[in-house]
C-alpha cells in the first residue's frame, strides 16, 4: 500500500483482511480507520477474539525444533544460492544467518494464522514436512517415540475434549480425503464453517472409525464435530456422530 490506499469497505470483511489487521501488517493510517469499524461488527469481533485465543494457546506450547532433514534441505538450497553467478550471497555462513533470522522473526504470527485458519506450515509436529508446491501430499500419521505409526485416537463421546491438543496439530482428512468432502458432511449436519478446520484427524469413536474436526466457536472455545466417513454427506445428517463445544464459558 502507498499511504493513499483506500480503506476496504465493509462489513463484511474477508478473514484475510481481519487477520492482517490483527497481525499489524496494514499501513498505520489504514489500520487506524479500519479497526473501529471492524470492532463495531459482531462477526468480525468474533474472528479477532478467535485470533487472540489462538495466540494464547500457541504461546503455551513448547517450542518445536526443526527436523534435521529439513535443515539439511535448506542448507543445500542456500549453498546452491551462494554459488557464483547464481545469487549475490557473500558466503554460506551469511546465508545461514539470514535463514535463522527469517525463521526467528514473525514466527508467532505465522503459526497463529496457521492455527486459526488451518494453514499447514513448513514443519509439522512430529518432524513431518508439510506440502510444498509440486510435491505429493502424504497423509500425516501419528508416531510414538520410537518413530512407528500409531492407530487413531480411541475415544468415548464424553472424552472428546481430551483430544483437542492432538487434533489441533493435525490436518489429516483421513477417509474424507478432501476439504470439499468435509464441507459436504458439515452441510449435511447443518453445521456452518468459515473455512479450513483448525485441526482434523481420524479417530476411533467407541469402536467406530470416524474423523474429528475442530472448528472455531468463539473466544477460547472449540466446536468438536465427529463424522462417519461412510455415511456423511450434504444430505446425510446421520453422518454426524457427535457435535459439542468445549472451552471457556
* Residue-wise DSSP of 107-172: HHHHHHHHHHHTPPPSEETTTEE---TTS--PPP--B-TTS-B-PPEEE-GGGGGGGHHHHHT-B-
d(CA 128, CA 141): 9
Tell me whether residue 72 is in a domain: no
In the numeric block, the cell 508467532 is attached to 108
- Cell 466417513 found at: 229
pLDDT number for residue 80: 67
Domain containing 154: what range?
Answer: 150-249
In a domain, 87, yes or no: no
Judged by DSSP in three states, 39 sits in helix
Residue 179 has pLDDT above 60, yes or no: yes
Bridge partners, 199 (sequence order): 214
Q: How many domains does the chain have?
A: 1
Whether 124 has a pLDDT exceeding 50, the answer reads no
Within a domain: 233: yes
The whole-chain average pLDDT of the chain stands at 74
pLDDT band at 205 (very low <50, low <70, confident <90, very high): very high
Is residue 239 situated within a structural domain? yes
**Is 238 a domain residue?**
yes
46 or 147: which carries more pLDDT confidence?
A: 46
Residue 244 is assigned to a structural domain of this protein:
yes
Amino acid at each position: 500500500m502507498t499511504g493513499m490506499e483506500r480503506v476496504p469497505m465493509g462489513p463484511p470483511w474477508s478473514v484475510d483482511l481481519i487477520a492482517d489487521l490483527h497481525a499489524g501488517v496494514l499501513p498505520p493510517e489504514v489500520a487506524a480507520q479500519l479497526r473501529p469499524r471492524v470492532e463495531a461488527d459482531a462477526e468480525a469481533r468474533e474472528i479477532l477474539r478467535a485470533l487472540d485465543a489462538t495466540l494464547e494457546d500457541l504461546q503455551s506450547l513448547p517450542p518445536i525444533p526443526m527436523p534435521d532433514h529439513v535443515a539439511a534441505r535448506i542448507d543445500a538450497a542456500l549453498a546452491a544460492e551462494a554459488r557464483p553467478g547464481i545469487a549475490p550471497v557473500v558466503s554460506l555462513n551469511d546465508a545461514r544467518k539470514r535463514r535463522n533470522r527469517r525463521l526467528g522473526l514473525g514466527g508467532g504470527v505465522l503459526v497463529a494464522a496457521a492455527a486459526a485458519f488451518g494453514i499447514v506450515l513448513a514443519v509439522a509436529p512430529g518432524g513431518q514436512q508439510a506440502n510444498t508446491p509440486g510435491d505429493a501430499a502424504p497423509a500425516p500419521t501419528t508416531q510414538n517415540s520410537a518413530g512407528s505409526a500409531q492407530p487413531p485416537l480411541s475415544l468415548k463421546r464424553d472424552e472428546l475434549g481430551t483430544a483437542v491438543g492432538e487434533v489441533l496439530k493435525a490436518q489429516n482428512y483421513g477417509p474424507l480425503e478432501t476439504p470439499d468432502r468435509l464441507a459436504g458432511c458439515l452441510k449435511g449436519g447443518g453445521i456452518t464453517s468459515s473455512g479450513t478446520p483448525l485441526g482434523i484427524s481420524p479417530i476411533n469413536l467407541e469402536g467406530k472409525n470416524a474423523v474429528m474436526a475442530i472448528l472455531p466457536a468463539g473466544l477460547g472455545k472449540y466446536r468438536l464435530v465427529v463424522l462417519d466417513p461412510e455415511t456423511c454427506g450434504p444430505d446425510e445428517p446421520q453422518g454426524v456422530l457427535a457435535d459439542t463445544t468445549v472451552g471457556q464459558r
